[in-house]
Amino acid sequence: MGFNPDVFQWARESAGLEPEDAARAVGIVTSSLIAIERGEKEPSRTTLSKMAKVYRRSLLTFYLPAPPRKGDRGEDFRTVVADRTAEADADVDALVRDLRVRQSLVRAVLEDDEDVQQLAFVGSATMNDGVHALAKSIEQMLGVTREQYRAQKDAESAFVLLRERAEHAGVFVLLIGNLGSHHSAIPVEAFRGFAIADPSAPFIVINDGDARAAWSFTLLHELAHLWLGATGVSGGGAPEKQIERFCNDVAGEFLLPRADVQAMNLIGLDINAQINVITHHANRWHVSRQMVAYGLFKAGRITREVWRSLDTGIRERWMAERRREKDRPKDSNGPSYYVVRRHRLGHAMLDFARRYTDAGALSPSKAAKVLGVKPRSVYPLLTVPT
């Protein structure tokens, strides 16, 4: 088979596992694992499958001729947080590599189409323009006011509205939070959003493992990166870099102006009651609870210490809600694989693949790569549901 033993060692180390721990999880003795990593023996198909699960890698990873290079993230806008692991960073690199390839394929096709023009808003602004001016420019491009956004029935519907308008303007907006399965889910601390500021084919990728109420904020934050012409990865945590604070402020200008949080009063309430009040307003405004808490801190309504306590409490409550949701019996009549996949890809990507595959400008194999599916799934995925 000709496996490269360096790939096995890289996969284990990037998963943050020592040989003894990895061997135990895979179900083989440590000496066998070391022999595989030294090229002295080849793994069985069963061992390969277990390695893929334990290391949180695609099975195809182990057939690579060499360990993959570190992904070109563009600028790394993320805050350094204590609980971000080397494993999560390696997953971000793998995701970025894949997205770079997909975006380059899309760009190549669009650049060959004489009827497609470059998007003037990409790289059109600087931070010197100010938060208000940039937020207004994005609002005008989207053609959506804050009032229209809040008039939607819930946070997810409000996000759909923003996403559709951004895609109509030429931005590809994808929902991706893992490397192909839930076993490879990337935590929000490592990756919340990613923007490729290309005037021919701008990409925004949102970690759909984040709370749905946070998706709109991430979309607007990454749109600000496009306006600034700044390609890179954004993560969770309090923003440290000036550009991240600026993009946060742009998103906040649209979603949650200071006047809204200044009218809130949490005095005399314990932390659970405070979170209940924040939850009520967050639901009304279609934003995340963490955004409301941060807005209160920014407006001087609460101290940094209180904000950090609220942020921790809100995250713990959200994690508990997610666990309860996972424990609920699965609905056998839930959405199909293709419905879920279409939702994650978005209308812009689906329309692009459908149009240029039909025209012969995009081969089925390249369409599969762009869509992130196997070639046999391209046709059913692109078939318009009746």
Per-residue pLDDT at 173 exceeds 60: yes
Mean pLDDT for the stretch of residues 353-369: 93
pLDDT higher than threshold 70 for residue 332: no
Rounded mean pLDDT, 236-241? 67
Q: Are 22 and 149 members of one domain?
A: no
Q: How far apart are CA 294 and CA 244, in angstroms?
A: 14
| Gap between the terminal Cα atoms of the chain | 45
Neighbours of 330 (CB within 10 A): 7
Identify the domain boundary among 327, 352, 371. Answer: 327
Q: What is the DSSP string of 105-167?
A: HHHHHHHT-TTPPPPTTTT---GGG-HHHHHHHHHHHHT--HHHHHTSSSHHHHHHHHHHHHH
Same domain for 307 and 260: yes
Per-residue tokens: 333: 């009549």
Considering the domain architecture, whether residues 119 and 245 belong to the same structural domain is answered as: yes
CA distances from 112 to 5, 109, 169 (A): 41, 5, 19
Residue after which a domain boundary falls, among 281, 299, 327: 327
207-228 confidence digits (pLDDT tens): 998 989 999 999 999 999 999 9
How far is Cα 216 from Cα 315, in angstroms, rounded to an integer? Answer: 18
pTM reported for the whole predicted model? 0.80
pLDDT score for 257: 92
* Residues 6+ positions from 113 with CB-CB distance below 8 Å: 361
The reply to whether 166 and 264 lie within a common domain is: yes
- CATH number of the structural domain spanning residue 23: 1.10.260.40
75, pLDDT greater than 80 = no
Whether residue 69 is predicted with pLDDT greater than 80 in this model: the reply is no
In terms of residue numbers, what domain contains 20?
A: 5-63
Same domain, yes or no, for 350 and 322? Answer: no
Q: For residue 97, is pLDDT > 90?
A: no
Query: Who wins on pLDDT, 272 or 190?
Result: 272
In a domain, 321, yes or no: yes
Q: Are residues 55 and 130 in the same domain?
A: no
31 pLDDT tier (thresholds 50, 70, 90):
very high
Across 179-193, 265-279, 281-295, least confident range: 179-193
Same domain, residue pair 234 and 349: no
The answer to the question of residue 73 being in a domain is no
Q: What is the mean pLDDT of residues 370-386?
A: 87
- Tokens describing residue 320: 């508990």
Tell me if 148 is assigned to some domain: yes
Q: What's the pLDDT tens digit per position in 242-282?
A: 898 899 999 999 999 999 999 898 989 999 999 999 999 99
Same domain, 286 and 156: yes
What is the pLDDT at residue 87? 73
Residues 6+ apart with CB under 8 A from 268: none
Q: Are residues 58 and 185 in the same domain?
A: no
For residues 230 and 347, membership in a common domain is answered with no
pLDDT > 70 in the chain, percent: 92
Q: Residue 14: is its pLDDT beyond 80? A: no
**Which tokens sit at 314?**
């809100």
| pLDDT value at residue 79 | 58
With bands split at pLDDT 50, 70 and 90, how would you rate the model's confidence at 330? low
- Whether 82 is in a domain gets the answer no
Do 296 and 359 fall within a single domain?
A: no
In a domain? residue 108: no
pLDDT value at position 203? 97
Residue 69 lies in a domain: no
Mean pLDDT score of the chain: 89
**pLDDT of 351 strictly over 60:** yes
Q: How many domains does one find in the chain?
A: 3
In a domain, 109, yes or no: no
Q: How confident is the model at residue 327 (pLDDT cuts 50, 70, 90)?
A: confident
Evaluate if residue 80 carries a pLDDT over 70.
no
Q: What's the pLDDT at 95? A: 86
Please report the pLDDT score of residue 83 as a whole number: 59
State whether 305 and 355 are in the same domain.
no
Query: Is residue 234, in this structure, part of any structural domain at all?
Result: yes
